Structure formats: C-alpha cells, structure tokens
Amino acid sequence: MTTLDLPLPARPVNRNAIIAASVVLFHVAALWALQTGLLRRAVEIIVPAQVIAEFIEPPQPKVEPPPPVPKPPVLAVRIQEMFGVAATPRIAAGRVPLLLHLLGPNHRPQQVTADLASFWQNGYPEVKKELRRRYPKHSWPDDPLTTPATRSGLKRDAK
C-alpha cells in the first residue's frame, strides 16, 4: 500500500464549532420556515384560529386619510377700500368666495372674514370704535355700505 491509499487520521472536531454550526443551522431553518409560511401553518393546525385571534390582531386594511380641504383664496385689503361693497367678492364665475383680511391703516389685519355683510352688521361697529380712537384722521363712517371706497382712507380724500 502506498501512502496515498491510506485514510487520513480523523481530526477531532472542536465542541464549540459543533454548537455554533448547529445554532446557525437552526436559525437558517427557522428563517426558511417563517419565509415559506410553514411555521404559521403548523401553528394554525395545532392551535385553533379563535385562540390565535385573541392574542394576535389581524391586519387591518390601510385607509388613506381624505385629502385636505383646500384653503380659500385670500384677499388682503384695507377696510376703507371695501366701503360700499355689500357682499363678499367671489372668483371662478362666482363659485369661490374670497377670505378677506381687512387691514387697518397700518396695513395689519384687523378682521378676517368670509362674510362681508355680517362683518358690516356685527364686527364693523367694534372695529370702527377702536380704529377711530387710534386713527382720527381716517374716515370711519357710520354706514360703510353707502360710503364710497377710498384708497388712502383719509377724511380729506373722502370728500
């Protein structure tokens, strides 16, 4: 017999290597079972579906939220420029009312409204009192619906 025909002596396998290999093999098998659904099917056979439903909530279908309501178009305009206008201005052939930011003489919003007629009836008397005190040179008529609009808002321009 030649030296090539002799079997090689068996090397002793390290115990830790066997344990590590078996753990890796177990994890590979578990992942395969999870991926193919075998584990779930086995559980469904052993445990009734009613018992499983008590512990695991079935997946709910995704309900998409409704799209946000579009914001109305805004018109920032001085109060004196809206004198004589009874109704809220509209765009898109009268379908879309404008959201009015009614500005004071300092070009800061004094009132935000989508209903100009209601503002002239209810909100204007209070706003007029405050603005008349702060801006005495400006025109603040008692009846804004019959007063013509002015660009500057000053009393001298209202004549």
Report, in angstroms and rounded to the nearest whole number, the Rg of the chain calculated over CA atoms.
Answer: 41
Confidence bin at 9 (pLDDT 50/70/90) = low
- Helical ranges in 83-154 per DSSP H: 116-118, 124-134
Segment 93-113 shows an average pLDDT of 93
Is 78 exposed, middle or buried, given 0-12, 13-18 or 19+ CB atoms closer than 10 A? buried
Give per-residue pLDDT as tens, 37-51: 776 777 777 777 777
**Residue 124 pLDDT > 90:** yes
End-to-end Cα distance, the chain: 131
Q: What is the pLDDT of residues 59-97, one digit of tens each?
A: 788 889 999 989 999 999 999 999 999 999 999 999 999
Task: Indicate whether 16 pLDDT > 80.
Answer: yes
Segment 18-43, tens digit of pLDDT: 898 899 988 888 777 777 777 677 77
Q: How many CB atoms lie within 10 A of CB 88?
A: 18
pLDDT attached to residue 155: 64
Residue 3 or 122, more confident: 122
Query: What local confidence, expressed as pLDDT, does residue 110 receive?
Result: 93
Provide CB contacts within 8 A for 98, sequence distance 6+.
72, 73, 74, 75, 88, 89, 90, 91, 114
Of 121, 126, 152, nearest in space to 139 by CA: 152
Residues 6+ apart with CB under 8 A from 132: 138, 140
